[in-house]
Amino acid sequence: MSQAVDLVRGALQLRDAQLLGAELAKLNHVLLDAQQRLFSLGAELLALQEQHFKAREELREMRETLAERSRYTLVEIGQGQMAYRSNNAPVLGAAIEPVLAQPQHYLCQQCWDIRGAKSILVLHLDAADGPVAICRNCRDGWMRADLIAR
């Protein structure tokens, strides 16, 4: 009789182990799904962080561009010829007389607006037709510069 009880106990343990194994397999499947979703969310987070970084960098560059552009005013330097003139503000310091932050200069409007490059116009006062300015970057011809020379 004790052998029969032992066999029944063994059968019950075997059945319980099989049921437990099936439940553990289900649990492992759920854990693997959760882990896969976690990896997926981590990848999405990384992509969003990269997108956020790029947007912040673009915003910083745009703010710098706006600040740089605010240091210049578009003016007419001759008949229909436009250029950007520096807005010079005096720098106060220990000196008795305030000094300019940078010398007065003009930038080629086409180079800056179209190409995004700052190119200083060179003024030639002794040209045959009167004062002219040239951009050495785009060499966009000689521009009449009557208003600069004054």
Q: Read off the pLDDT of residues 87-144 as tens digits, 9 standing for 90 and up.
A: 876 656 555 665 556 788 899 998 998 888 899 988 877 767 777 788 888 865 556 6
What residue spans define the domains of the chain?
A: 1-70, 72-149
- Cα separation, 39 vs 135, in Å, equals 56
Mean pLDDT of 5-13: 66
Cβ contacts of 106 within 8 Å, gap of 6 or more: 75, 77, 83, 84, 85, 86, 120, 121, 123, 133, 148
Give yes or no for a contact between 84 and 78, defined as CB atoms under 8 angstroms apart.
no
Give the 3-state secondary structure of residue 52. Answer: helix
* Residue with the two structure tokens 């300015």: 133
- Cα separation, 113 vs 107, in Å, equals 10
- Cα separation, 13 vs 19, in Å, equals 10
Give the 3-state secondary structure of residue 38. Answer: helix
pTM over 0.75: no
